[in-house]
Amino acid sequence: MAATAPFLGRLLKLLIADDSNVIRRRIERSQQVDRLQVVRLASNGHEALELFRQTDPDVVTMDITMPQMDGNEGVARLVEMKPHVRILVVPALADKATAVEAMEKGANGFLSKPFTDRQLNDALEQLIAGA
């Protein structure tokens, strides 16, 4: 409960990190969660960290297989910077080991590609439930 208190009732800032422009735009366009507002889009792990520092988002969607820095390392670095950030990992990798690793690094949710708009919104709703 203490971990989610900083978000209570306010608009949440969303950062989208994926090396595919099509996917970044798809998430930006499809997300319909009332409390979420997309603040920035990042195309690799390094850029995600940089934009995270600049914009201080509350929620991040993160791909795993990205150039320069993979998503799991990115997840660990984001959690170090802001322990109560909510992270939805959105990889092409669909195996359980990848999901477990992401959760162990500090992710809060896992949605493998491809996904429907409904699956995306359900995952985001679940991610911020109670926040």
Partner 1 sequence: MLEEQDIRAFVYGTTQYFEVAAQQAATVGSPFLVTQGAPEIHDYTGVITVSGRRDGVVHFSAPRGMLTVLLMKMNESNVTHDNLRDLVGEVANTISGNVRRDFGKVFVISVPTVVSGHAQSIELPPGCRPMVIPINWRSHAAKLVVCLN
Residues 31-70 that bind partner 1 (CB under 8 A): 65-67
Please state the closest distance from residue 131 (CB atom) to partner 1, in A. 27
Q: How far lies 91's CA from each of 5, 17, 125, in Å?
A: 28, 11, 18
Residue 20 touches partner 1, criterion: CB under 8 A:
yes
For 89, list phi and psi in degrees, rounded to 5: -85, 130
Q: Closest distance between partner 1 and the C-beta of residue 102, in Å?
A: 12
For residue 14, the minimal CB distance to partner 1 (Å) is 19
List the structure tokens of 90: 């959105």
83 to 122: interface string for partner 1, x by CB under 8 A: --------xxxxx-xx-------------xxxxx------
Nearest 10 degrees: Cα torsion 45, 50, 52, 55: -150
* Neighbouring C-alpha atoms within 13 Å toward the C-beta of 62: 37
Q: Are 131 and 58 in contact (CB under 8 A)?
A: yes
Specify the residue, 79 or 115, whose C-beta has the smaller distance to partner 1: 115
- Least CB distance to partner 1 at residue 104 (A): 13
Which structure tokens are listed for 75? 């997840």
Residue selected from 23, 49, 60, 120 as contacting partner 1 according to rule CB under 8 A: 23
Q: Which residues bind to partner 1, rule: CB under 8 A? A: 19-23, 25-26, 29-30, 65-67, 91-95, 97-98, 112-116
